[in-house]
Structures are given as C-alpha cells and as structure tokens.
Structure 1
Amino acid sequence: MSDDALADDVWRAMAAVVFDNRDAWKRDVIETTGLPFSRVRVLRRLAKRPMTAKEIAEAATMDAPATSVAVNDLEDRGLVVREVNPSNRRCKVISLTEQGRRVVASIERVEDPAPAPLARLSREELRSLEAILAKLSAW
C-alpha cells in the first residue's frame, strides 16, 4: 500500500470515529442553544473571526443560498450583525454580536466526553495521539 493510500485510510478511520461519536453532543448543543446545527456551525466559525458570506459558505461547507438563509436567521435572532467591509465597500462582513458571543460560550460549555474507545486507550497511546494531532494542527 502506498503512503498516500495509507494516509487516506487513516483519515477515513479518524473521521469515522469522530462522526460516529458526536450525535449526543450535537443534540445537547441544539437543546442548549435552541438553534439548528447549521446555525451553530456558522456561529462557531464566526467566533474565530468576522467573515464575508462567501467565506462562511466555504468554512461551513454550505452553498450560497443556505448561507444567506442562515445569516438572515442569525441576524433576526440578534446573534450576528452585517457591516460594510472597510476594505471593500461593496460587500458586508458578518460578525458576532455580544449575544452571539454568549451563545458560542454556551456551546463551549456543553460537555463533550471522549467516546469509550478513545477513553480505553492507555495513557501512552493518548499522549502519542495528542502529539500527532498537535503536529497536524500546526500545518
């Protein structure tokens, strides 16, 4: 097996572990915020920095119409605000309001324990995985 094929297999396995074990957390976040998860995804990305609608669409893997609907809904709820982009007055930059920051903080407080298979790893295995993930995050 080539290194690329091995990397692809490892990526798929890693993604499966994460996706297969996030349902309870997603339900808790939806219950805590009262928002559809698509809105939560937008808020979490905006917590990192203000973005244009196009940047939000790319970051949240949404199409343009879905992004517009999500941003309109979040704006109606008082969670985001659109402002003229000072570097390009023809487009708007979307950012969190103070209320939006409070909602993001409530999302961060939702417990997200490690799934059982991860929790069963030895301390040494967890430290190795932690080091690998830190290396991946640095790229």
Structure 2
Amino acid sequence: MSAWIDTLVVAWALVLSVGGGWVVTGLVLRLASRSRDAGTAGDDGGPTGAVPRAALRGGTWIGLLERLTITAAMLAGYPAAIAFVIAVKGLGRYPELREHPTASERFVIGTLASMGWAAIIGIGGLALMGGAVVGE
C-alpha cells in the first residue's frame, strides 16, 4: 500500500480513536450510572456523583492522551506500550482513588471503555493497512 494511504489511515485512526472514544466512554459511563447497583447521583456514591467527578479531575484530557497513545502503539506494532499507559495512569491516580474510594468504579469503567475503544481502532487501522505496521 502506498505511503500516502498509510498516512491517511493512521491519521484517521488517531482522530477516530480520540474523538470517537470520548463519545463511547461518556456513553458507557452514563449507562453504568443507570445500573441497579450504581447508587444514585444524589448520594455521591454512584459513578456520576459529585465526589467521583471532583476526585478525578483532568479525566477528559487523560483519556484523550491515553487513547492517542494506545492507538499509536497498536499501529506501530508495539502493543506492550499499553502496559506503560496502564502503569502511569494507575500510579498517577492512586492517591486520588485511595482518598476517594467511590471514584474507583468510575475510574475502572471509564478506563476499560477508553482503552478498549483505542485498541479496537488501532487493530482496525492495521487491518486497513493490510496488517503492515507503521514504518515498515
């Protein structure tokens, strides 16, 4: 495949990963907040309560960067880099999650939705490029 088409696929995959993941992650978090075991938003114990949102400041930007990095790692043929993303995110959030345990549910749900989306888009981008890793 030509380098131009590969470049377009990579650009498309990165944009779709970041933008589409924002929508998908938000939808998954809203659906999770409606489950029977989620509590209510008014008790600050569910994933949409005030405590989890206040405790997890910067989540939108972290999620955007996480999806960009994971999709790029998949396209570069280096999925092991995802472990670094998980480690940095977990270690960076640990103090907040320890202080606000009610935020951990929102953190886990959002992280899994975000990373899953990014990996799927990265795999799809590789498939469109015929399985070739970026730079080969």
TM-score, normalising length from structure 2? 0.33
**Structure with a larger share of its residues in strand:** 1
- Find the structure with the greater CA-based Rg: 1
TM-score, normalising length from structure 1? 0.32
